[in-house]
Structure 1
Amino acid sequence: MNDNPFAPPRDLTASTPEAPATTTDLSRPTHDTVELPSAAPGASFFPPAVPPAEPAAFPQSPATRPARLRRSTVAAIVAGSLVLGAGAGFGGAWAYDEFGPSSASSGAAATLPQSGNSTISSTDSTTVASVAASVLPSVVSIENLQGGQVAGEGSGFIIREDGYILTNNHVVSGSDGDTVTVVMSDGTEYEGEIVGATADYDLAVVKIDATGLTPLVLGDSDAMVVGDDVIAVGSPLGLEATVTTGIVSALHRPVTAGDTESTAFIDAIQTDAAINPGNSGGPLLNARGEVIGINSAIASLGSSASQSGSVGLGFAIPSNQARRTAEEIIATGTATYPVVGVVLDGTYTGEGVKVADEGGVASGGPADLAGIESGDVITAIDGRPITRSDELVVAIRAKAPDEDVVLTVRRGESEQDITVTLVANTEVSYGDSGEPEESAPEQSGPDGDGGMLPDPSE
């Protein structure tokens, strides 16, 4: 609504219809170029321009840590078929008032704060300033050191009082000795150990030797709707403690990030909040003070990296997906992802996506047990139409092992709904049947049991 105190000003002259949009990751220091199949013809992905090596001078209070311009971690992304939607809200930070240092020091499995402990009341008088003041102490800057030099910088945020931090995999990838430098909001620096990371979800967990920290709560990203207000916090272009606002622009955008050797499939939240290189790994928050997304990628205009920057199209990994992955990484150091157990035909151009005619179903896998056959055409998942393989992949990756999905399958002239129980990727062997659905040819290229992270409020 126009009377919403959080509604950001709208610039109606910022975009031009002639300029095609390209999408860019906030992640890798390399400058990869990939194609955007469903964007405007000729559109390409480029990483945002690398900021100047020398920091610019900014006036500041002596009590604050100097703002520094660093190289931002950047990775190329592909927004597969931009045919989805995503959820988000506007937000603040959640105070930690249940789990003290004793839980960590005792050796018991510490948990993240339960929802309902916000330091901010969700009222009409809530301001961006109050939200920022509450959340900023829990957001950190992360420096990726390679060869003794800062190769890139991203963001992250505290998820447990005993020093666990969530960020993007591409922010920490390739760091010396699996360690990074974590800079707290007050300027304190820690050496952070990479507990585990997964390129499949573009997420990583870092641990610092500190307790009594104030974590942010991972909220329910499924509860967000298009138009909800959101706030992004991070260190864009090395400018620490930067806060921007916007709305949820779309839900379930099928975004593939990374490269052909390590591709993340993201059922992304799209936002128009200003997100730039260095925001990667930082939180996207809703009005209840919960993290509903982890900022990961942006879109930019132009055909060169020098033109990269925020144009109002940013993408975040949903918090529900991040929750499962973070819990599994903290518990085991690794992460799995759910699969159906089929091989997709990348040459098929009809309605839906087709299971390969030869060896299309992994023997003994979920699809096989459910009765899906080679040559079947999958037209929808849980009632949502599927037109491209990446849509199916990200929809499955957004689930968890042991969850049921309903696939609408066309076989010959008949169509039926088939319920499939997903399993972890480690439980399926494709043998010689080819590449699984998560690596469909056209891409070229655990759920936690609770206790580790709190459930969001109902």
Structure 2
Amino acid sequence: MTEDSARHDEAEQPPVDPDHTQEVDLSRTQEFGPPPGQTPLLPPQEPTPEPVRAAAWPDHPLAAPAYAAPSHSDSQGWNTGGHAGYAPQAPEHTAYATNPYAASAASSVRAPLAKRGPGWFGVFLIAGLAALLAGLGGGLLGGWLGSSDRFDGFDSGSTGPTPEPGPGATTRPEGSVASIAAKATPSVVTIRVEAADGDGTGSGWVLDDKGHIVTNNHVVSSAATKGKITVVLTNGKQTSATIVGRDVSYDLAVLKVDRTDLAPLPLGDSNAVVVGDPVIAVGAPLGLESTVTTGIVSALNRPVTPGEADDQSFINAIQTDAAINPGNSGGPLLDMQGRVIGINSAIARVAGNAIGGQSGNIGVGFAIPSAQVKITVDQLIRTGKAEHPIIGVLLDREYQGEGVRIATDSGDTPAVTPDGPAAKAGLKAGDVITAFEGRPMVDPDALVVAIRSKAVGSTVTLTVLRDGKSRDVKMVLQGRSD
């Protein structure tokens, strides 16, 4: 039995893989974070980018127990150093002291047979004037160089330059994939995590001008108590980040960086999305930052529950065929106006068809809808935790018939929570919920995901079957923080 908000029958849970990966079919999902099996590649160093090398993927290290995997070490190619800026040398300058009257004097005065030198006093005077002119010229040159921005990539301040849109923003038509990608990528970041149980990478995006970065919980959960989180911008500049709040059930987290000059991405309305809409996924798959892929919305309202036991997430997901791979976690899914309509969070894989316990893109990826992101992220910023809507029932996981059955009372634990939304609506143990807001319910996870897709305080309609008779009941969702 399981309560609709979180609890699950442990007997129904599959055994935990020793590598903390899960065997799932197309109805299940697998998290992805740092480059499975490939030595993660870093943003190109200035001024000349490094060539990309292909390699096998290792297991991704970066998540809570449901996602953890062997760690990457420096010996495997991780570069834990900062971005290497460069300081060009100032051009050499020679100071010249000239006498504008020398030529005219020479032409009008007849030279003597024996030319005398200037004497020691003259030598010292000329040397002093040369030194004075050289110092003055060097000071003016240094001031001019210091006040100019001609040395791209050289960070002389504490924050460094702000990433700029690529050439596609102006050289390609407005609304084209190239134009949207060029404008969006400066607002998408790579997230590096160093923790006791391993290092890894994921993706994130800029929410506002206050330094808030949105990503998946499983990307940063390993560093929640002890670890280091670094945000890498598209121009290679790095800044440390702290966790503002995170939530396992929605697989969302908010980070904070000490920068207020980053351009935020606009948030779109996932409720307006329809199947077939074109979409763009941006992130750092396999550590390859600023990667852009395209596809369509393949399906909506997919009940996705990645993770295991206490680390399970409940996502009323947008399904897409845009290529998503390990490392895309936390990156934005954009519509054709460049607005965030989802956060790339999971991929499906065929059991046994994986390399090193992880699979790559097979055209079935899942994103958390922006409608849910907006609600949860706002709560995380305000309070540091999220509130989950519940109806207050325990569900029977062994039931095989149509719909989802409320369990029978067991011992001191009632199947319907007294004074909960379901109890107030008249639901009883043994009732079968066949639809939620008109959507057929086929299993307990689907009902939990549907409930959690709503805001606390929402009024919802359930279709309930009792004694062969069906009726609609309304209830107001209550909130609870796990």
TM over 0.5: yes
Deviation at 1:404, TM superposition (A): 0.8
Residue 36 (structure 2) aligns with: 50
CA distance in 2, matches of 1:138, 1:46: 23
CA distance in 1, matches of 2:52, 2:255: 23
In 2 relative to 1, CA 285–44 (structure 1 residues): closer, same or farther, beyond 3 Å? closer
TM-score, normalised via structure 1 length: 0.71
Amino acid at match of 1:412: D
Residue 302 (structure 2) aligns with: 253
Bigger strand fraction: 1
Residue 399 (structure 1) aligns with: 454
Deviation at 1:219, TM superposition (A): 1.1
8 A Cα contact 1:296 1:316, kept in partner:
yes
Pick which of 374-383 and 58-67 moved more: 58-67
8 A Cα contact 2:408 2:430, kept in partner:
yes
Deviation at 1:60, TM superposition (A): 8.2
Bigger helix fraction: 2
CA distance in 2, matches of 1:425, 1:183: 35
Deviation at 1:346, TM superposition (A): 1.2
CA distance in 2, matches of 1:317, 1:404: 22
Matched position secondary structure for 1:185: coil
Q: 1:331 aligns with which of 382, 398, 416?
A: 382
In 2 relative to 1, CA 200–154 (structure 1 residues): closer, same or farther, beyond 3 Å? same
Residue 333 (structure 2) aligns with: 284
User: Can you list the C-alpha shifts for 1:416-453, whole angstroms capped at 9, x where unaligned?
Assistant: 100010011249xxxxxxxxxxxxxxxxxxxxxxxxxx
CA distance in 2, matches of 1:206, 1:125: 31
Residue 232 (structure 2) aligns with: 183
2:193 is aligned with 1:193: no
2:206 is aligned with 1:158: yes
2:185 is aligned with 1:136: yes
Q: 2:373 aligns with which of 319, 322, 326?
A: 322
Deviation at 1:35, TM superposition (A): 4.2
CA distance in 1, matches of 2:434, 2:347: 29
8 A Cα contact 1:361 1:374, kept in partner:
yes
CA distance in 1, matches of 2:464, 2:307: 31
CA distance in 2, matches of 1:186, 1:124: 24
Matched position secondary structure for 2:219: helix
Matched position secondary structure for 2:462: strand
Q: How does 1:29-428 map to 2 (within 5 A)?
A: 30-36=19-25, 39=27, 50-53=36-39, 55=41, 62=47, 72=60, 126-147=175-196, 151-175=199-223, 177=226, 179-301=228-350, 303=352, 305-306=354-355, 308-358=359-409, 359-426=414-481
In structure 2, list runs of 5 or more residues that go unmatched: 1-16, 68-167
User: Can you list the C-alpha shifts for 1:296-317, whole angstroms capped at 9, x where unaligned?
Assistant: 1112345154161001110001
Matched position secondary structure for 2:340: strand
8 A Cα contact 2:45 2:236, kept in partner:
no
8 A Cα contact 2:193 2:227, kept in partner:
no
User: Can you list the C-alpha shifts for 1:246-278, whole angstroms capped at 9, x where unaligned?
Assistant: 000111111101221211100011000000000
Matched position secondary structure for 1:323: helix
In 2 relative to 1, CA 63–162 (structure 1 residues): closer, same or farther, beyond 3 Å? farther
CA distance in 2, matches of 1:165, 1:66: 29
Residue 150 (structure 2) aligns with: none
Deviation at 1:201, TM superposition (A): 0.3
Matched position secondary structure for 2:418: coil
Deviation at 1:402, TM superposition (A): 0.3
Deviation at 1:55, TM superposition (A): 4.4
Amino acid at match of 1:173: S
Deviation at 1:396, TM superposition (A): 0.5
Residue 135 (structure 2) aligns with: none
8 A Cα contact 1:34 1:46, kept in partner:
no
Deviation at 1:283, TM superposition (A): 0.1
8 A Cα contact 1:337 1:425, kept in partner:
yes
Deviation at 1:134, TM superposition (A): 0.4
In 2 relative to 1, CA 29–167 (structure 1 residues): closer, same or farther, beyond 3 Å? farther
8 A Cα contact 2:205 2:213, kept in partner:
yes
User: Can you list the C-alpha shifts for 1:103-125, whole angstroms capped at 9, x where unaligned?
Assistant: xxxxxxxxxxxxxxxx989x985
8 A Cα contact 1:265 1:394, kept in partner:
yes
Deviation at 1:150, TM superposition (A): 5.8
CA distance in 2, matches of 1:142, 1:68: 21
8 A Cα contact 2:61 2:198, kept in partner:
no
Matched position secondary structure for 2:21: coil
8 A Cα contact 1:68 1:239, kept in partner:
no
In 2 relative to 1, CA 54–157 (structure 1 residues): closer, same or farther, beyond 3 Å? closer
Pick which of 388-397 and 212-221 moved more: 212-221
CA RMSD in angstroms, aligned pairs only: 3.1
8 A Cα contact 1:218 1:320, kept in partner:
no
8 A Cα contact 1:355 1:377, kept in partner:
yes
8 A Cα contact 2:180 2:337, kept in partner:
no
8 A Cα contact 1:380 1:386, kept in partner:
yes
Q: Considering only CA atoms, is the larger Rg found in Structure 1 or Structure 2? A: 2
User: Can you list the C-alpha shifts for 1:377-396, whole angstroms capped at 9, x where unaligned?
Assistant: 10001111111111111111
Amino acid at match of 2:207: I
Deviation at 1:322, TM superposition (A): 0.8
CA distance in 1, matches of 2:333, 2:199: 25
User: Can you list the C-alpha shifts for 1:26-65, whole angstroms capped at 9, x where unaligned?
Assistant: xx995422444x75xxx99686972333749x98872769
Residue 4 (structure 1) aligns with: none
In structure 1, list runs of 5 or more residues that go unmatched: 1-27, 78-118, 428-458
Residue 452 (structure 1) aligns with: none
